């Protein structure tokens, strides 16, 4: 009997996964609940276990993208361990018939064992799905030792060093500049036991590698091209890659080449003889300054953000409604108590705690704003998990304050600080960024006067705060200068009607302009 194993559902918003790496090969015997491969989504990495004992038949390879419920492999439950072993013996016999060496060669210092260690791109962060091979530090055919650094790989967050996972002869599989997914094959090492081989053996290995490798006597695609790490350094220095001589394979510009490169001195303008003419065409005006541009690959985080924002615009009936708030009562309250608040709670009293508490009250009074659509159903939440948009170095992230309706002002402020620091340091976990029911974003800290924020799906609404500007306002027939802020509520009109969206903002305006209501619950 052949048992099909399909890609399992790994999260409510995840529709596809990537095969990171196989821990078991095609034809191997596997046991029930044994981990056979890793699956990666745009949020996390998951392990896939065998659903029965038997011989494994893979239907996809590392790097393939599969949809949920798509067949990933099969297990022959009627097969035994002996069947798998006999299969491997048959493969060995075939390799011998084809003239391949199955016995390890030996030398006075050590010898090849016949084992080939395949090295794959390691997991370098839970939100990183691919890397760029920046540069090879060891050439194809070089002898490498265990844990010796052989290459540098760049992700959207940092540069990592790749150490050798065995001692032996290095064989490149990927080239500098290649983009590889996590779990993708990057190189192979022909394992050598004992001490390092002699110089003659090294030369023999290098010559055999050069015999199989394409000739580099002529220019290739790599010639004059900078690796991602080198391109970044050259861009910062303002140096054109064509002015740098590459010392890498086939003339590729490595990171070291870029670090040593210096901007060439401007060449003196060539003197041209002027030909006298009665009629001369007018010359184009000379423009001073440089006209340079550069191309950078979009980071994984930026691609995910782009995909989600476009989906929100295309899949929701999004509208935005506005109101304005007199911030003077809150500003006066903060001025009066901020020192005592900080002394007691060891945290500053900011605006975010007021807006979060006011939003929680309004959300519980207008539950549709705190709900979400799931197919043909509407899910209403009796709790408020408030997502706060934070600008991190690599892009916008949205960590969640859980059960914000039950937190005090100081608890909210401490949670905001904690999440903001983790976002800045790139240490937010998947759990801290998923599951929110409503989002608050503050564009005012960057000087935004008014905006229409985009819904953070699968949520149904997002509140936008803006900068505080003193404006003349009519109060009881008199003109007064007051600190005013515009509020924007973008909402999904499929679930939230105009009455609910407008009433939600009006309620927030009441609570913020009279903060005593927040304390009294009225």
The SS3 of residue 46 is: strand
Pick from 109, 46, 106, 39: nearest CA to 72: 39
Whether 497 is catalytic: yes
Mention every residue, 6+ apart, whose C-beta is less than 8 A from residue 465: 351, 355, 440, 441, 442, 443, 444, 485, 487
Contact yes or no for 315/375 (Cβ under 8 A) = no
Please identify which of the residues 69, 243, 431, 497 carries the catalytic annotation.
Answer: 497
Mark 351-360 as b/e (b = at least 16 C-beta within 10 Å): bbbbbbbbbb
DSSP state of 52: S
Sign for the CA dihedral angle at 336, 340, 342, 344 comes to negative
Which one is catalytic: 42, 147, 493, 514?
Answer: 493
What 45-53 contacts at long range (C-beta under 8 Å, 24+ apart), as own/partner pairs, is: 45/20, 45/123, 45/126, 45/182, 46/10, 46/17, 48/5, 48/8, 48/72, 50/5, 50/75, 51/3, 51/5, 51/75, 52/3, 52/77, 53/29, 53/77
What's the rounded Cα separation, in Å, for the pair 278 and 57?
A: 85
Q: Which residues contact 410 (CB under 8 A, 6 or more apart)?
A: 341, 344, 345, 347, 353
- Distance, CA of 53 to CA of 51 (rounded, Å): 7
Return the bridge partners of 131, or none. 180
The half-sphere exposure of 263 on its side-chain side, counting CA atoms within 13 A, is 8
CB 151 within 8 A of CB 137: yes
**Dihedral angle, C-alpha 407, 408, 409, 411, nearest 10 °:** -60
Contact 439, 462 (CB under 8 A): yes
Helix (H, G, I), strand (E, B) or coil at 18: strand
Q: Catalytic residue positions?
A: 493, 497
């Amino acid at each position: 009997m052949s048992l099909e194993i399909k890609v399992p559902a790994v999260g409510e918003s995840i529709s596809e996964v990537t095969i990171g790496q196989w821990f078991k090969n095609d034809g191997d015997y596997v046991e029930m609940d044994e981990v056979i491969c890793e699956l990666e989504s745009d949020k996390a990495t998951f392990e896939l276990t065998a659903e029965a004992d038997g011989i494994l038949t893979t239907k996809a390879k590392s790097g393939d993208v599969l949809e949920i419920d798509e067949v990933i492999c099969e297990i022959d439950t009627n097969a035994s361990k002996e069947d798998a072993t006999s299969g491997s013996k048959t493969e060995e016999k075939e390799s011998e018939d084809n003239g391949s060496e199955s016995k390890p060669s030996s030398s006075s210092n050590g010898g090849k064992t016949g084992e080939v260690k395949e090295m794959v791109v390691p997991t370098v962060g839970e939100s990183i799905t691919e890397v760029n091979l920046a540069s090879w530090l060891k050439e194809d055919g070089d002898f490498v030792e265990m844990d010796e650094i052989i290459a540098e790989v760049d992700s959207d967050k940092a540069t990592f060093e790749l150490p050798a996972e065995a001692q032996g002869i290095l064989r490149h599989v990927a080239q500098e500049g290649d983009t590889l997914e996590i779990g993708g094959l990057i190189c192979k090492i022909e394992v050598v036991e004992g001490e390092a081989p002699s110089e003659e053996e090294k030369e023999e290995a290098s010559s055999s590698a050069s015999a199989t490798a394409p000739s580099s006597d002529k220019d290739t695609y790599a010639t004059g091209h900078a690796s991602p790490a080198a391109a970044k350094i050259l861009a910062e220095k303002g140096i054109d890659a064509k002015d740098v001589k590459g010392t890498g394979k086939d003339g590729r510009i490595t990171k070291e080449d870029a670090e040593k490169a210096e901007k060439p001195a401007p060449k003196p303008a060539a003197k041209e003889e002027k030909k006298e003419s009665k009629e001369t065409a007018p010359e184009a005006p000379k423009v001073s300054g440089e006209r340079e541009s550069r191309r950078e690959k979009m980071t994984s985080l930026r691609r995910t953000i782009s995909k989600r924002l476009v989906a929100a615009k295309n899949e929701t009936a999004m509208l935005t409604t506005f109101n304005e708030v007199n911030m003077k009562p809150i500003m006066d309250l903060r001025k009066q108590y901020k020192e005592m608040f900080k002394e007691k709670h060891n945290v500053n009293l900011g605006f975010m705690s007021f807006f979060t508490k006011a939003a929680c009250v309004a959300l519980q009074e207008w539950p549709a704003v705190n709900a979400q659509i799931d197919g043909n159903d509407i899910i209403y939440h009796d709790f408020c998990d408030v997502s706060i948009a934070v600008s991190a170095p690599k892009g916008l992230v949205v960590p969640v304050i859980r059960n914000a309706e039950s937190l005090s002002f100081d608890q909210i402020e401490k949670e905001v600080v904690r999440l903001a620091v983790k976002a800045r340091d790139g240490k937010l976990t998947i759990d801290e960024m998923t599951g929110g029911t409503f989002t608050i974003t503050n564009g005012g800290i960057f000087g935004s006067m008014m905006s229409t924020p985009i819904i953070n799906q699968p949520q149904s609404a997002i509140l936008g705060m803006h900068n505080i500007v003193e404006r003349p306002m009519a109060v009881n027939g008199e003109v007064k200068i007051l600190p005013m802020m515009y509020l924007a509520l973008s909402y999904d009109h499929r679930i939230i009607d105009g009455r609910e969206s407008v009433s939600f903002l009006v309620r927030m305006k009441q609570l913020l302009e009279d903060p005593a209501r927040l304390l009294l619950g009225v």
